[in-house]
Amino acid sequence: MSEDFADDPGLDPHWDDDAPVGRRKAGLRVRFRGMPSTKWGRIVAGCGAVVLLGVCAGLFAMGRSFLLHDERFVIPSSSSIEFQGDAHVTRAQLLSIFGEDVERNIFTVSLVQRRAELERLPWVAHATVMRLLPNRMRVSIVERTPVAFVRPGSHIGLVDGNGVLLDMPVEARPDGKYSFPVVTGISAEDPLSTRAARMKIYERFTSELDGSGQKISEGLSEVDLSNPEDVKASIPDKSSEVLVHFGDTDFLDRYRRFEEHLPEWRTVYPKLSSVDMRYERQVVLEMQPGAGVPVSASSNGAAVMAADAKTPAATVPDTGVKAIEPVVKHVVKAPAKAAPATHVAAVKHAAVVKGKPSARAMANSAAKSHSPVKAKKVDPKAKKHVVVAKPHPVVAKPSAGSTQYHPAQAVQP
């Protein structure tokens, strides 16, 4: 074994592994090849390195001075600034940011600062600024996409999906007009996080309505997002609009049910103002202010009829005080689809008179003098839904012997 390693000059036969570390390293010497070994040689090498660094620094300064002061790198005019992606932001708005850069050296323009200023414009979502040597600049912007009109006050604006409020573009849109509803319930005073959350609800609402392939959302007039748990939409119907409560889920299914029964409700209630579709087994209908609810009416799917046509209506004596028209609610159970059925109402006559206690007592005694109408039974096997209609109260002064609307009508199976 010892003969195999005898010729190896790197092995010391007197090496001791147990020797101290300091003692083992005492014989090691590190030498840099090419470095002068004498003192004066090292001094000359150091001076040469200093001179070399000075030359490099001088060349850098000369190059920098050349780039910053040479006229070939000066932006000659605003036409040397190229913009891309500006459909709604005008060129004048963009040039207002780069106005001080005209006739300025291109290397003195801060690209980071210009990009930040561009992204502060409401319409700009993202911007990229770059230099095109020798003396041109290119600006690429990505604009925000409006999804609805907004009415933050007396003027109409736009809003994108993140709740950022946008001004109407100065120039006309190149591809025509916008086609989306007006959104209410958001304002500039709301924090951006609140506006963004409500616009997410709006996007979910419109995407669900348009999920069937029809552009239902384009037919909406206005969408109210003031209550996140109850999305309300105004839907045009002939010469008027109907306010529909959609709640916060099942938007398409509730719209389909509203669309199916609207002609029927219009026949029975011509002054229909609002429809609440949030409940599974009933629909609440609200009339326009001052509109009475008919006591006798019929339709294809639901009907409210008086049991006896000869039964006189409740009358209130002329007491000289103002009477409040009662708030009427019709609870009608009828087949969900077009299976016609006739329901007979059990009618309770009452009139509410605002005035002295004696006048109210006279009104109540007059209403109770009429005989009640018996209700007929309805087939309990038929699938039902409930329609509740309520008009706004109106203050009226009845004359003697005048006929009043019935305050409550209900049909039970």
Q: Are residues 384 and 358 in the same domain?
A: yes
In terms of pLDDT, which residue wins out, 40 or 350?
Answer: 40
Indicate whether 5 belongs to any domain.
no
Which of 143, 161, 179 represents a domain boundary (last residue)?
143
Q: What is the pLDDT of residues 8-53, one digit of tens each?
A: 555 555 555 555 555 555 555 556 566 777 878 778 888 888 888 9
Residue 313 belongs to what domain range? 273-413
Share of residues in the chain with pLDDT > 90 (%)? 39
Confidence of residue 163 (pLDDT cuts 50, 70, 90): very high
d(CA 203, CA 145): 13
What is the average per-residue pLDDT within 353-369?
A: 42
Which of 143, 160, 194 represents a domain boundary (last residue)?
143
Indicate whether 378 belongs to any domain.
yes
Q: What is the pLDDT of residues 122-143, one digit of tens each?
A: 999 999 999 998 999 999 999 9
Q: What is the pLDDT of residues 212-249, one digit of tens each?
A: 888 999 999 999 999 999 999 999 988 789 999 999 99
Identify the H or E element spanning 194.
Answer: helix 192-209
Domain count, the chain: 3
Supply the pLDDT for residue 234: 96
Indicate whether 24 belongs to any domain.
no
Contact 388, 330 (CB under 8 A): yes
Q: Are residues 61 and 137 in the same domain?
A: no
Indicate whether 158 belongs to any domain.
no
Q: Are residues 53 and 112 in the same domain?
A: no
Whether residue 134 has a cis bond before it, omega within 30° of 0: yes
Q: Are residues 65 and 112 in the same domain?
A: no
In terms of pLDDT, which residue wins out, 91 or 361?
Answer: 91
Label the pairing between strands 182-184 and 222-224: parallel
Supply the pLDDT for residue 144: 95
Which CATH number belongs to the domain containing residue 90 in this structure? 3.10.20.310
pLDDT at position 261 over 90: yes
Q: Are residues 370 and 409 in the same domain?
A: yes
User: How would you classify residue 176: left for phi > 0, otherwise alpha for psi between -120 and 50, otherwise beta?
Assistant: left
The highest-confidence range among 98-102, 355-359, 381-385, by mean pLDDT, is: 98-102
Indicate whether 385 belongs to any domain.
yes
pLDDT at position 211 over 80: yes
Q: Are residues 299 and 359 in the same domain?
A: yes
Q: Are residues 60 and 78 in the same domain?
A: no
Q: How many CB atoms lie within 10 A of CB 365?
A: 10
Supply the pLDDT for residue 176: 53
Contact 139, 127 (CB under 8 A): yes
Supply the pLDDT for residue 7: 53
pLDDT at position 197 over 70: yes
Is the pTM above the cut of 0.75?
no
Helices (H), 27-159: 39-69, 91-98, 111-119
pLDDT at position 84 over 90: yes
Q: Are residues 321 and 394 in the same domain?
A: yes
pLDDT at position 152 over 60: yes
Q: Are residues 293 and 330 in the same domain?
A: yes
Share of residues in the chain with pLDDT > 70 (%)? 60
Supply the pLDDT for residue 229: 95
What is the average per-residue pLDDT within 329-347?
A: 38
Q: Which of 219, 248, 249 is closest to 235 using CA atoms? A: 219
Indicate whether 116 belongs to any domain.
yes
Q: Are residues 65 and 79 in the same domain?
A: no
Q: Which of 183, 412, 386 is closest to 276 using CA atoms? A: 386
Chain-centroid distance of CA 157 in Å reads 14
Structure-block tokens of residue 60? 């850098």
d(CA 212, CA 293): 36
Q: Are residues 48 and 133 in the same domain?
A: no
Which of 69, 103, 131 represents a domain boundary (last residue)?
69
Confidence of residue 291 (pLDDT cuts 50, 70, 90): low
C-alpha angle with apex 168: 166 to 173, nearest 5 degrees? 120
Q: What is the pLDDT of residues 85-105, one digit of tens each?
A: 988 898 999 999 998 899 999
Supply the pLDDT for residue 382: 42
What mean pLDDT, rounded, does the chain reach? 72
What are residue 346's DSSP bridge partners?
A: 410
Q: Are residues 128 and 88 in the same domain?
A: yes
Indicate whether 259 belongs to any domain.
no
Indicate whether 353 belongs to any domain.
yes
Contact 271, 287 (CB under 8 A): yes
